[in-house]
Every structure is written in C-alpha cells, then in structure tokens.
Amino acid sequence: MSAQFGDAVHKKVRKGTRSCTECRRRKVRCTWSSDDAQICRRCEERGTTCVAQIYSSAPVRERKYSSRDRISQLENKISNLTRAVRNIESKLGHEHTETPESPRIETRGSQDIADSEDDTDSSENFPSARPEHLENLFKSDWMTSKAIHGRVYEPKGKSHTHLIDAARNALQPLVPTKENLTSIASFSSKWIALQQALFPTGRIVKSQEEMLEKYDTMRSPDVDIYDLCQWLLAVALTAQQIPDDQGSPTTQARRYQSAAAFSRAVCDATLNTIFNQDSLLGTIEGLSVSMSYLRLQLTRGSFLRTYLQSRRVIALAELLGLPRIARNVRLGKIKISSEADPNFSKTEIWESLCGMDRAGGMIYNVPVTTKRYRTPSVKDHPVSINGEIQCKIYMATLSDLSLRLQDLDDIAYEEGEESELYAEVLKIDSELRALASYTPHGWWDLPPDGENPECHLQFWHLFITMRAHLPFLLRRDPSDKYAYSRIAGMDACRSVSQRYLHIRRAIPSGFFICKPMDMEGFISTTVLLLATHNIRLTKRPNETIDVAELKALILNIIELMNDKSSDAIGSDIARRGALVLRSLYDCLLEDSEGKSTPEELTVKVPILGQIHVQRNPKPVKPVPQAPVMSTPVNQPATWQGTAAFPEMSTANEAFMGGVSTTNTGWSADPFSWSITHGQEAFFQDALMTGNFEQFTGALVTDQTTSMDWLGTTWSNAG
C-alpha cells in the first residue's frame, strides 16, 4: 500500500475502508497479497490501476442563523453605530440628532420563539399568505347568515387585489364614448322595465337615467369592478336591441358589426376577469354579475355553455349558503328591515337563480338543479294587491308548477298507467286554474301593449298549461275518454300562439328572452298545426273549432318568423322555425292539389321529438274485365297503403299514447304524420351545439335534401 496510508490516516478511516476505489465501486471484497503490496489482487487480475481511497472529512457546514438572530445582530450594529455617532457629536459640541423610536415588536411566548437551526427566511418556510382554499375548509362563519354583509367570501391576500386591478384594467377600456352611450341608452327603457318586473336582481341598472349618470363613475380609476361590469353588460344588452330600420343598409351593417363586437368583447372580458375567478365570482356582487352575464350569453345562441355556466353559479350560491338564508327569510326566522339589508340581496339572487333554472328546464326539457328548493309562491304571499298583480310572486309560482312537467315525463317513460298520468295532468291543470282565479276580472284579455309584463305572465301560464296536456292533446282518442285534456290543451295552444304574435312583434330581437320565446312559439305552433290537421280529419259534433281561423293564425306566425329571420341578432331560431313550419303547413294543411310537394318529410322538434310526414298512396281503382279471349289484367284484392315508417318507440307510445295518423288504407287527406320520441340524451341534439347551423339530421330516403334545422329532411319523388 502506498505511504499515504499512514498511521495518522488510518486512525481516521473506519474499519474495512482499506479497499481500493475500484473494488468499492464494484462492491466486492478487496484482498491484498501483503500489507505493503502496491496493488490489490483483483486489480492485478483485471489489469486496472489500483487507486487507494483517500480520507476526506465532510465539509464544515456553516451555521445558519434564523431571521430573529440576524435581526438582533442588525439592531446591535445599529445601536453601536448610533452610540458612536453620538459620542463624536458630543466631542464636537453638536446637539444629538433625534432619531425616531423603533416600533415595539410584540413578542411571543418562549416556546413560540424557540428557533431551530433550519429556520430560514425563504418563501418556502415562511409563505407570505396561507393557502386560502385550504384555510376556508376550517371556516364556517362565511357560510352562515351572520357572515359580514357584502362580499361573503373575499380573500384578503395580495393576489385578490391583483385580480381586482386586472379586472378593472380589462373592463375599463370597453367603456364607450359619451356620445355613443347617449345613443345606445335611448333604447334601454323598455327592456329594463320588463326585466325589473319579471326578473328583478339587486345591482342591475334600473333606468336609462341611471345608465347615463354612472358614466363618469365608470371612468374613475377606483371604480368598483362589479358595478363597472354590471353597467357594461347592461350597455351591451341595450346595444343589441337597436332597431335594424335605423339608417341606410350600410349604416345598419356597420351598427350590427359594432354591436356584435362590443357584446363579444364585454362577454369575453367578464368571463376572463370575473366569471372564471372563484374568488371574485364567489361573492354576492359576483353572483349578481353572473346573472346579467348569463342573460347576455343567451342572446348569443350558446345554450349549452349558458346551461353549464348556470350550474356552476348555482353550485357557488349553494356553497355560500344562499338557499338556507332564503328559506329562513321565507319562514320568518330572519327579518329583513329594508332593501339595504344584505340578506335581501342574497334572497333575491337565489330566487332569481331558481327561476332561471326552472324556466330553462321547462323550455328545453333539461334537468333542473334547484328542484328540491322551495321559493315564495301564492302560499306565502298574495298574488294580487289592490287589483295589481305581483309579477314576482306569480312568476315564482309558475316556476314551481313547471317542475311538475318533468314528473309527467317520468311517469310516461316508466310506462305507468294512463290513469295515473291523466290524474297528474288534471292535478296540474287544477293548480293552474287556481292560480288564474287570483287574477282580477278582465286580466286575461289580450293587453294592447305586447311589452306589458302581465302579457308575458299570461304567455308562460298558457304554455305550461299546453305542456301539461300535451300527452293527451295529439293522441288518437276515438272514445273521447280524454276529451277535456284535448280541448283544454287546444285552447291553451291557440292562446299561446296568439300571445307569441303579440309579444314578439313588440320586443326587439336582442332581448335575452327572445330566443326562448321563439322556441316556445315554434313548439306551440307545431302542436297547433298537427292538432288542426287532426281536426280536419276527425270532426266531432260537439267541437266548434274554426279551422280557417287556426290556419290564418299559423300563417301569421310563419310570416312573423320570416320577418324576424332578417334581424341581425337572435334570429337563428326564428329563421329555421319558419322554414320547418312552412314545410309542415304545405304538407298537412295546404291544398296540395297540382303542387309539387315532398313525398316524405322528417323534422326534429324540441319537446316533441321526430315528426314523420308521408304521402298517403292514392287508391287503385279496379279495371273492368276484358272479354274472355283477352288477356286478364292483374288487380289487387284490397286497396293497401304503404307503411313508410316503423312502429313508434315504446317511450313515445307511453308519452304520447302512440301518436300517429298514419293510415293503413287510403284516406282523403294526401298526407299523414307520426311522432317518435328518442331517449338517447337529456338534450336535443341541436341544443348541444353552440350554433344551430352546425346540426343536420340523418337522411331518410334516396333523393333527400337536408334542411339545416333540427334534423329536418325531405325527399322528392322524381
């Protein structure tokens, strides 16, 4: 072994470390031929260099001082410097320089200030703020009614301030000029009044004057971001409602592009700065902003996104305890002294969320998240006070009744007894009639003003009535067992269509209720059209229904939808609805003699399902027999029709009672129709897309041309 393995070195090396580096690396025993050998046996066998291990002590680790120790040392140095400066001043005859007294530091107990050797000032060991998403798990006061009013959940860290500043910087550049705002605000008074009556929410802009007065405030550097966002959403919603007949075509196109771009910019900024930030959205003000945001989003045609985002907002409201607060207010356990009470805003927001969720479930037939919660109804408050209908209470009661419509679907899909289904229909009808009885005399007369909130209440009331009777309205019932349901449903359907004409002509297309109203008008008119076709075929002596009047009503709705289809915003449902209704009308109600009409037509209508229309075969008249010597002509034994479509599904037979007018023999009417109702998903396929134009239905037969609306197809026989 080399001389470096001296006694001094071996004393510091633990036993067994005489092995060379190569043997140690291979983890084998290192053997030596003698104590003074220069190379071990294994290195000698391999022919490798034998390098002895050299002892190296571990590096001396400098002691790490804690933050408290370093601060103490710094204070001592400052004290020494101060003492030295004063001594020099005393020798020179100068007055002592007065220095401010150091702030007193509150010390903790001896156990708390025990410093460990590993105590450092790194951000990992001393975070500036605790993770609030974990800290909130151990807080319960913010979920109770005793939480501080205003922002129920508001992180206090630096990141929250940063989010507020970022939101203000993103939203404030979108404020329009004073001149443009004055032009836009002139169209705001009608929709604001209607929204306040039907869908009240605390922080929304409540008048045209308020929109103009807040302009300077919105431009200030310290403006509240929630007020700013609410104001911008109101301006964007108003900009979409400027009539298209203002100015030349070039001016109209420029105005539409500007309004669409402004609306999109406000939506995107709200989504990125507030809606996607839980710390900002999870406040009372944030939830109020989300209501206006969802309404503006609905006008842009993205129902799926709106539906999913509304579920997120409802989940946040539930986590904030709003359902419990609203229940305690309703039961009188929490007293509200004025509208300034924070519990008033919380209750109002929760009731608005419930109404929005239930209205969407009724129109689009999707699951309702707030079904288990009660809202104020006629059982809690009077509907009419001094002859004045309380729109909020009436609307909340209708929302509760609309939940029962999905119960009818559940009974039907589970193939329950018809008697059970009919009993539930009559029960809902009875409650609707009881609600109508609270209205004053003459209230149900068609108001002259389509923007009247009471006209909208009538529309919703009648639409729910029609939906309740729909399982029996279109089914074949030769025994007239369900005559009441058929007559009541037909009357409600006609009234809905009349009020749709009245309201839709009055409100601008950019208002957020236009798309849902177009959908309801399309559904009710389709039902009215099919029911009118049935009436033409099966006239009953006890029914006095003017078919010509119904046909004129349907044509007026088709014409109205055609007119609205030219609107720049919110016209997609009206445009495709007019196309489908015109095709159904031409087949089922129009005199097709001598006209080119399709042989088959298939349309998919929300709530109803797929409607199949087919041409009935004409009768084959028997040919007279020729003389005996002549060649006989083949003739059928009976006149047979062709079954162009398969039997209806079980689900549809349960829901609509096997709705079909498909004839097995020739009929005087050239067309017949049937309905199938699929169960593949909760949503209609068209509603799953962001744009209705993206959906096209499956082709039915050869020579088929696709109509770009809710799965509509037709085929012409050469």
The ranges assigned to domains in the chain are 7-46, 143-375, 407-620+637-715
Phi, psi of 672 (to 5 degrees): -140, 165
Neighbour-count burial for 27-60, b at 16+ CB within 10 Å, e otherwise: eeebebeeeeeebbebbeeeeeebebbeeeeeee
Q: Which tops the pLDDT comparison, 713 or 600?
A: 600
Whether residue 191 is predicted with pLDDT greater than 90 in this model: the reply is: no
Whether residue 706 is predicted with pLDDT greater than 50 in this model: the reply is: no
pLDDT class of 388 with cuts at 50, 70, 90: confident
Neighbour-count burial for 230-261, b at 16+ CB within 10 Å, e otherwise: bbbbbbbbbbbbbebeeeeeeebeebbeebbe
Q: Residue 557 has what pLDDT?
A: 94
Whether residue 425 is predicted with pLDDT greater than 90 in this model: the reply is: yes
Mean pLDDT of 420-448: 90
Max avg pLDDT among 346-360, 487-501, 553-567: 487-501
> Reduced to 3 states, what is the DSSP secondary structure of residue 603?
strand
pLDDT class of 127 with cuts at 50, 70, 90: very low
What burial class does residue 452 get, using C-beta atoms within 10 Å of its C-beta: 0-12 exposed, 13-18 middle, 19+ buried?
Answer: middle
Mean pLDDT of 537-548: 70
Q: Which tops the pLDDT comparison, 208 or 327?
A: 327
Tally of CB atoms within 10 A around 552: 10
Q: What is the DSSP string of 445-514?
A: SPPS-TT-HHHHHHHHHHHHHHHHHHHHHSS--TT-TTHHHHHHHHHHHHHHHHHHHHHHHHS-TTSTTH
What percent of the chain stands above pLDDT 70?
68
Q: Which tops the pLDDT comparison, 472 or 121?
A: 472
Tally of CB atoms within 10 A around 282: 21
- Average pLDDT score, the chain: 74
Mean pLDDT of 541-549: 73
Distance CA 430, CA 86 (A): 96
Contact in structure between 487 and 500 (CB atoms under 8 Å) = no
Q: Residue 116 has what pLDDT?
A: 40
pLDDT class of 633 with cuts at 50, 70, 90: very low
Two tokens, residue 129: 């703020």
Q: Which tops the pLDDT comparison, 116 or 135?
A: 135
Q: Residue 123 has what pLDDT?
A: 37
Q: Give residue-wise pLDDT tens across range 316-351.
A: 999 999 999 999 998 889 888 887 888 888 998 998
Q: Give residue-wise pLDDT tens across range 213-251.
A: 998 899 998 999 999 999 999 999 888 877 765 555 566
pTM: 0.68
What percent of the chain stands above pLDDT 90?
19
Q: Residue 255 has what pLDDT?
A: 66
Positive or negative, the CA dihedral 5, 6, 7, 9 is negative
Please enumerate in sequence order all residues whose Cβ is within 8 A of that of 548, keeping only pairs 6 or more positions apart, or say none.
Answer: none
Tally of CB atoms within 10 A around 599: 19
Look at residues 612, 667, 660 and name the one whose alpha carbon lies nearest to residue 639. Answer: 667
Mean pLDDT of 647-655: 35
Place of tokens 């842009």: 300
Contact in structure between 545 and 486 (CB atoms under 8 Å) = no
> Reduced to 3 states, what is the DSSP secondary structure of residue 44?
helix
Phi, psi of 612 (to 5 degrees): -105, 125
Look at residues 270, 309, 269, 264 and name the one whose alpha carbon lies nearest to residue 289. Answer: 270
Distances from the Cα of 510 to the Cα of 257, 281, 469, angstroms: 14, 26, 32
Please enumerate in sequence order all residues whose Cβ is within 8 A of that of 382, keeping only pairs 6 or more positions apart, or say none.
Answer: 390, 393, 438
Rg value, the chain, Cα: 40
Whether residue 28 is predicted with pLDDT greater than 50 in this model: the reply is: yes
